Structure 1
Amino acid sequence: MVTWFWQRRRPAERTLKVRSRGDYGDVQRVDFAELAPDIDTFLGQAAYLQLGYFETLSALIAPTPGLGDKESISRAAAAALDKHQSLVALIRDRGDDALEVMLPFREPLDAFRRATHGARPLETMLSVHLTAGMLDDFYLALSASYASTGSRVAAILGRSDNRQALAAILTDAIEADAQWRSLLSLWGRRLVGDTLLIARGALRPHALDAAEEKRVEPVFTQLLAAHARRMSELGLDA
């Protein structure tokens, strides 16, 4: 049985550094030059992911009862759509057809969305909050490999995502009914594997040697640390 590096037992004294907003820390300093995907893969995946988050959030508006919560979800959806449209514009600025660039990733990323779609609206809301956070961080880390185009992508992904409104809805639900705490904690832990596989699959080599694994491990360590922070902010166990 294969043991992924995020499943290994780590020394208790190790401290993980979590980046603050606007500071990409050690993640962005990792050299991805030889491991980063080609530019079309990078842009196509990033753009289609944002479209998927817009679609998922839009579908959550109808089953959400509170008007204020509906409005909060709509703002998060609008932020994802804005990022998607900006990435599409960047692709077109490069002279490429955005639909053709995104199409190869439609099937695998739709499968990822289905795998992380909860049985209840709050589970799906948590999925967006956590998986979008992890993958935005990952694509920000990758962006350093693409010169001026990467800088434009970093600026787009660094915009406000309005997902803190989702966190507020989740926190209110947990405080109103303690049963949500254990259910959402379990769901949040289940999301990690699928999300890291999407990130891992974006790298150029499909099979990394030991040296390459060592180079990318700090990035995934950072992603896990940020995931744990988001879970803690919601009052959930990571």
Structure 2
Amino acid sequence: MATWFFKRKRPVGRTLRLRSRGDYGDVRRVDFEELAPDVDTFLGQAAYLQLGYFETLSDLIAATPELAQKESLSLAAGTALLKHREIVAVIRDRGADPLELMLPFREPLDAFRRATHGARPLESMLSVHLTAGMLDDFYIALSASYAETGREVAVILRAHDDRSALVKIITDAIAADEQWRALLSMWGRRLVGDTLIIARAALRPTFLDAADEKRVEPTFADVMAAHARRMAAMGLEA
């Protein structure tokens, strides 16, 4: 999957540095200056991911008969669309064309959505909640490499992080039928591999050597810890 993303030579003489938690919240933020893609790649990926989540949630709205659930899904879809629009605004403020920046990632990220689309609506809802959470965390970490532009994107991703509507639908279903717990727990574990592949493929090198792996390990560990907390909050085994 690394061939999906632009290849660049690493700058010489720069090292990764841990930044303080500070404005970036609970997840430790690594300065990915050596590993981060260029800013246009970062923005294009981030914007298209949110558009994809909006599309998935919109499809779920159409397929859901219960009015209350349609309303809940519409809230989550609106959040994803708002993130997308605000990242697009950041792109336009930089004088770039959002469609041009997103186009290289349409095919791979659509493939990711298909791979993480469940056979049942509840599985797809869980996919959105968990994969969006993991990738938002990762992109917030990555944003530390892009100065003010990165800070703007981090604020967008953190300010609009309300997927509680999805969580309620999922937990209500588990409460009504305990068989959902084991199925959704297994599905949640299956999502991790595909999602981490997307995160790793977003880094500049096509291959991380042992030193690079050690440098990024704290951030991926924090992403996984946050994922485990999301699973636990729904009564699912991570």
Per the normalisation by structure 2, the TM-score is: 0.88
Question: Residue 10 of structure 1 corresponds to which residue in structure 2?
Answer: none
Size of the aligned set, in residue pairs, is 217
Give matches, 1:37-186, under 5 Å: 37-186=37-186
1:129-166 deviation per Cα after TM superposition (whole angstroms, max 9, x unaligned): 00000000000001111001011101111123320110
Q: Partner residue of 1:27?
A: 28
Counterpart for residue 228 of structure 1: 228
CA distance in 1, matches of 2:91, 2:126: 30
1:168-191 CA-partner distances (Å, limit 9, x unpaired): 110000010011011101100000
Match of 1:3 in 2: none
User: What is the distance in 2 between the residues matched to 1:136 and 1:121?
Assistant: 22
Aligned equivalents of 1:169, 1:160: Cα separation in 2: 19
In structure 2, how many angstroms separate the alpha carbons of the residues matched to 1:228 and 1:155? 23
d(CA) in 1 for partners of 2:132, 2:180: 21
Superposed displacement of residue 26, structure 1: 5.0
CA-to-aligned-CA distance 1:207-234 (integer Å, 9 cap, x gap): 1111111000111111111111111111
Structure 2: gaps spanning 5 or more residues: 1-20
Amino acid at match of 1:132: A
Superposition RMSD in Å? 1.3
State the 1:52 CA deviation: 0.2
SS in 2 for 1:144: helix
Using the alignment, how far apart are the partners of 2:31 and 2:125 within structure 1? 33
> Counterparts of 1:123 and 1:26 in 2: how far apart (Å)?
26
CA distance in 2, matches of 1:50, 1:62: 19
Match of residue 208 from structure 1: 208
Output the amino acid matched with 2:194: D
Q: Whole-Å Cα distance in 2 between the matches of residues 138 and 24 of structure 1?
A: 12
Contact 1:24/1:141 (CA < 8 Å) preserved in 2?
no
The amino acid across from 1:96 in the alignment is A
Q: d(CA) in 1 for partners of 2:233 and 2:70?
A: 22
In the alignment, is the contact (CA less than 8 A) between 2:27 and 2:137 conserved in 1? no
Distance 2:200 2:162 in 1: 26
Q: What's the CA shift for 1:57? A: 0.5
Q: Which amino acid aligns with 2:125?
A: M
5+ residue gaps in structure 1? 1-19
> Which deviates further from its counterpart, 132-141 or 86-95?
86-95
**Structure 2 Cα separation of the partners of residues 141 and 80 of structure 1:** 19
TM-score, normalised with respect to structure 1:
0.88
Compare 155-164 and 128-137 and name the one that shifted more: 155-164
Deviation at 1:23, TM superposition (A): 5.1
Cα distance in 1 for residues equivalent to 2:223 and 2:168: 22
User: In 2, Cα distance between the equivalents of 1:106 and 1:27?
Assistant: 29
Q: In structure 1, what residue type is equivalent to 2:39?
A: I
